[in-house]
């Protein structure tokens, strides 16, 4: 190991992660001497991999699929937002202590409100999915005071459970896709894993109106199936999750290094970096 402080991203698989590129760009921009690398952990060996990284001098790490819930359990202390999310995407190592944080919600909010200049107060929001990705962004979305937030999920009971869990944060209802008939929304966020398999959540027509923003937390080359559907349905604006990816990384960088990088040049660099592999979180 060189004299740069060591960071990285744990996942499985991890080969296609853009995080090393993003953090290298942040480090160069901010003049921070860090070394950030992809860290492949065996599916049954996340805790051991973290321990080995810490023993080797690791100062912090991001965590991606499928280890965010395990990272939540591994942390010895949690931030309030990680507690609410029930998942951890950012770890800070300090001796024996492991702080678990979650920057995904903040990343989505910054992308929506700053990069896309889309204020959320008073909006009708539809959140698709009721897994970890949806849970991680619910509290910050509700804290932005939308008119209503509706969660739709293939397994309707999961959406209802999530709405119940977050009822203290605002007006939130959950149900199945069939319950969306006849309703339209200002903002529709896809937090399902459907795009990963090239699939489309079973959305009824009519959920988009002419002024709607369609936001897919996934990204890839060209439109995801969700964004292609939204385009056909006449949504006014489309956005993929690349901005959220860079924003959650910037927030993690701030947690570790105390400085918030300028994200715009890094988003632009990734947009211009040409075709690459699979769509990913």
Kindly list the residues in this chain that would bind ligand ATR in the complex (CB under 6 A): 129-133, 153-155, 158, 192-194, 199, 201
CB of 87 to ligand ATR, least distance (A): 7
Catalytic residue among 68, 84, 110, 257: 68
Compute the distance between CA of residue 261 and CA of residue 172 in angstroms, rounded to an integer: 33
For residue 196, whether the previous peptide bond is cis, meaning omega lies within 30 degrees of 0, is no
CB of 5 to ligand ATR, least distance (A): 29
Q: What is the number of the residue whose Cβ is closest to ligand ATR?
A: 131
- Pick the closer one to ligand ATR by CB: 25 or 180: 180
Compute the distance between CA of residue 148 and CA of residue 125 in angstroms, rounded to an integer: 6
For the chain, the farthest-separated pair of C-alpha atoms sits apart, in whole angstroms, at 60
- How many Cβ atoms from other residues are within 10 Å of residue 262's Cβ? 12
- Pick the closer one to ligand ATR by CB: 67 or 93: 67
Q: Which of 257, 258, 248, 250 is nearest to 23 (CA)?
A: 250
- Pick the closer one to ligand ATR by CB: 18 or 135: 135
- Pick the closer one to ligand ATR by CB: 32 or 64: 64
Q: In what order do the strands lie in the sheet with 124-128?
A: 172-175, 148-152, 124-128, 185-190, 208-216, 237-239
CB of 207 to ligand ATR, least distance (A): 14
Contact 107, 161 (CB under 8 A): no
CB of 160 to ligand ATR, least distance (A): 12
Instruction: Please report the DSSP string for 144-201 in residue order.
Output: T--SEEEEE-SSHHHHHHHHHHTGGGS-EEEE-GGGGTT--EEEEEE-SSGGGGT---
- Pick the closer one to ligand ATR by CB: 110 or 135: 135
Give catalytic status of residue 18 as yes or no. no
Radius of gyration of the chain (CA): 18
CB of 219 to ligand ATR, least distance (A): 14
Q: How far is CA 116 from the centre of its chain?
A: 16
Catalytic machinery residues:
68
């Amino acid at each position: 190991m060189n004299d740069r402080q060591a960071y990285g991203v744990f996942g499985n698989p991890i080969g296609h992660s853009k995080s090393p590129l993003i953090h290298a760009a942040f480090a160069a921009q901010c003049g921070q001497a860090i070394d950030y690398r992809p860290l492949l952990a065996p599916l049954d060996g996340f805790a051991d991999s973290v321990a080995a990284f810490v023993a080797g001098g690791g100062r912090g790490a991001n965590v991606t699929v499928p280890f965010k819930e395990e990272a939540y359990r591994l942390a010895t202390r949690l931030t309030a937002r990680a507690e609410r999310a029930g998942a951890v995407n950012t770890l800070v190592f300090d001796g024996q202590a492991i702080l678990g944080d979650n920057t995904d919600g903040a990343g989505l909010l910054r992308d929506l409100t700053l990069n896309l200049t889309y204020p959320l107060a008073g909006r009708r929001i539809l959140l698709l999915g009721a897994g970890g990705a949806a849970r991680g962004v619910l509290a910050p979305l509700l804290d932005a005071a939308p008119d209503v937030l509706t969660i739709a999920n293939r397994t309707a009971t999961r959406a209802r459970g999530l709405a119940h869990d977050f009822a203290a944060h605002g007006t939130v209802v959950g149900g199945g896709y069939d319950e969306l008939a006849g309703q339209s929304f200002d903002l529709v966020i896809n937090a399902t894993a459907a795009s990963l398999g090239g699939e489309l959540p079973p959305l009824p027509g009519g959920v988009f109106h002419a002024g709607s923003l369609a936001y897919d937390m996934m990204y890839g080359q060209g439109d995801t199936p969700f964004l292609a559907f939204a385009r056909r349905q006449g949504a006014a604006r489309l956005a993929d999750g690349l901005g959220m990816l860079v924003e959650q990384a910037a927030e993690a960088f701030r947690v570790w290094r105390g400085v918030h990088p300028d994200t715009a040049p890094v988003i632009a660099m990734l947009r211009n970096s040409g075709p690459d592999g699979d769509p990913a979180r």
